[in-house]
Amino acid sequence: MRPPPPSPRFAAPPGGLPAHGSARRPPAGFTLLELMVAIGVFVLLAVVLVGLLQSALGTWDAGTARKDVYERSQTVFTMLTRDLQALYAVDVESADDMVYPLFGDFDAAGRSRIRFVKVLGGLGGRAAALFDPTRRRSAAGGGGIGARPEDWEPALAEIAWALDPDPARPILWRAERTWSRSGNLSLFDDDRFNARDFFPSNRGEHVDAGLLYWELLYWTRNTGSWTGARPRRGFGARTAGPEVRWDATRQYDEAFAFHKPVAKDLPLDPVYPEMIRVTIVLQPQVGDRGDAMLVAPIDGTSSEIPVSSTRAFPPPPDYALVGKEWVYYSALTPGALRARRGVRNTKPQAHAAGEGVRTGVTFTTVIPIPMFREGKY
């Protein structure tokens, strides 16, 4: 009996499975735990990247907003400086028989406004007179030699700057029209100037549409500081404060410190300030409803003002505008202001819940007046 033949070395085992040497391992892959860790790391990196992008965009937006509000302030100051430094004032030694007005007073809401006459081009006022050999009439009388004041006057214009009559509209207006001795349709007509549609009907222009507040102060020879008390009446007063209103004619505004009743035996004696300080408060985002809202109604006596958030408020002490009322806050909490009510020529008043509370960026400049003149009488 023959022995069975030897089995092949790599014979397939029973059941038809491949031999051990010919088997392939499945490719290696992530386990569920490894996959979850990888996804978590990816999500974390994405969150960090988004945070960095948001921070960069926030820094960019804040820088752009500061740049924009600064440029707006310079636009206001540049235009007003050009107007005031071209101020036309009477040469009291010439044959002119009138005072060119400079009126600085307040509107019905207690906000500063200013009106004056300016030179449209070339030399004006005393400077123009010095270069004109025909400026004086002949002392011999008869008027045959010399020229009328109108003959050497440069082109003049009336200028008016004021905030919109509606305090809810933070618009700074500027109006301009040709100067006329007759006064027809003049910007110095108080009845016309006080009308609510004055600027639109006189082709006024928007200088800024987000100006919350502005203040004009006038430096005189009695002034020693911009922050002192208001001067006492008269040239003999010695105090530190500036004037808050002006009347170059000295005839119309009885509240003006240098007011002088008209006297036929005295010559013209106009006064013009040496400098004017201009303070403006600009809303960073034009048209923004506010930095916060009142979360509860308040009366006119409350010093605690509940607001939705104080995150956007400048550090105290500073000012905030609640509706139409300015307040001066000395302390902040996450949900309230501790404030003194009714500042900046406004009065304390009741406010309803939901009313906007706004803050702004303050800018100040001082404009020298070339036609500065002190009174003699």
The CA distance from 299 to 171, in Å, is: 28
Spatial CA neighbour of 270 closest among 262, 278, 280: 262
Is the pLDDT confidence value at 131 over 50?
no
What local confidence, expressed as pLDDT, does residue 128 receive?
Answer: 45
Burial 142-162 (b: 16+ CB within 10 A, else e): eeeebeebeebbbebbbbbbb
What local confidence, expressed as pLDDT, does residue 7 receive?
Answer: 57
What local confidence, expressed as pLDDT, does residue 136 receive?
Answer: 41
Quick one: pLDDT band at residue 113, thresholds 50, 70, 90? very high
What local confidence, expressed as pLDDT, does residue 129 receive?
Answer: 46
Which of 40-44, 57-61, 159-163, 217-221 comes out lowest in average pLDDT? 57-61
In the chain, count H helices and then E strands: 5, 15
Task: Give the pLDDT mean for 199-205.
Answer: 80
Is the pLDDT confidence value at 208 over 90?
yes
Q: What is the DSSP letter of 340?
A: E
For residue 187, the tally of other CB atoms under 10 A from its CB is 24
| 88 contacts 178 by C-beta, under 8 angstroms | no
What local confidence, expressed as pLDDT, does residue 260 receive?
Answer: 84
- Residue 59, C-beta contacts closer than 8 angstroms, at least 6 positions apart: none
% of the chain beyond a pLDDT of 90: 41
What local confidence, expressed as pLDDT, does residue 187 receive?
Answer: 84
| 315 contacts 322 by C-beta, under 8 angstroms | no
Is the pLDDT confidence value at 203 over 70?
yes
Q: List the 275-282 sheet strands across, edge first.
A: 211-219, 275-282, 361-368
What local confidence, expressed as pLDDT, does residue 28 receive?
Answer: 62
The CA distance from 275 to 253, in Å, is: 20
Is the pLDDT confidence value at 261 over 60?
yes
Mean pLDDT score across all residues of the chain: 80
Quick one: pLDDT band at residue 280, thresholds 50, 70, 90? very high
pLDDT higher at 101 or 299: 299
Is the pLDDT confidence value at 198 over 80?
yes
Residue 359, CA distances (Å) to 63, 211, 218, 223, 285 in order: 18, 11, 26, 30, 11
| 77 contacts 278 by C-beta, under 8 angstroms | yes
pLDDT higher at 373 or 27: 373
Is the pLDDT confidence value at 117 over 50?
yes
Is the pLDDT confidence value at 122 over 70?
no
What local confidence, expressed as pLDDT, does residue 148 receive?
Answer: 47
Q: Give the ranges where 86-213 is alpha helix by DSSP (H).
A: 125-130, 149-152, 190-193, 198-201
Quick one: pLDDT band at residue 233, thresholds 50, 70, 90? low
Is the pLDDT confidence value at 373 over 80?
yes
What local confidence, expressed as pLDDT, does residue 237 receive?
Answer: 53
For 108, phi then psi, to 5°, come to: -65, -25
Residue with tokens 């500027």: 174
pLDDT higher at 376 or 259: 259
Quick one: pLDDT band at residue 89, thresholds 50, 70, 90? confident
For residue 6, the tally of other CB atoms under 10 A from its CB is 7
The CA distance from 359 to 327, in Å, is: 10
What local confidence, expressed as pLDDT, does residue 29 receive?
Answer: 64
Q: Where are the beta strands (DSSP E) in 154-303?
A: 156-163, 172-178, 205-208, 211-219, 246-247, 275-282, 292-293
SS3 336: strand
Domain boundaries, the chain: 70-134+149-283+364-368, 292-359
Quick one: pLDDT band at residue 193, thresholds 50, 70, 90? confident
| 242 contacts 279 by C-beta, under 8 angstroms | no
Q: What is the DSSP letter of 243?
A: B
For 82, phi then psi, to 5°, come to: -60, -40
pLDDT in tens, 144-172: 444 444 445 568 889 999 999 888 889 99
SS3 202: coil
What local confidence, expressed as pLDDT, does residue 96 receive?
Answer: 53
pLDDT higher at 269 or 363: 363
Q: What is the pTM assigned to this prediction? A: 0.75
pLDDT higher at 357 or 185: 357
Residue 85 backbone class (left: φ over 0; alpha: ψ -120 to 50; beta: rest): alpha
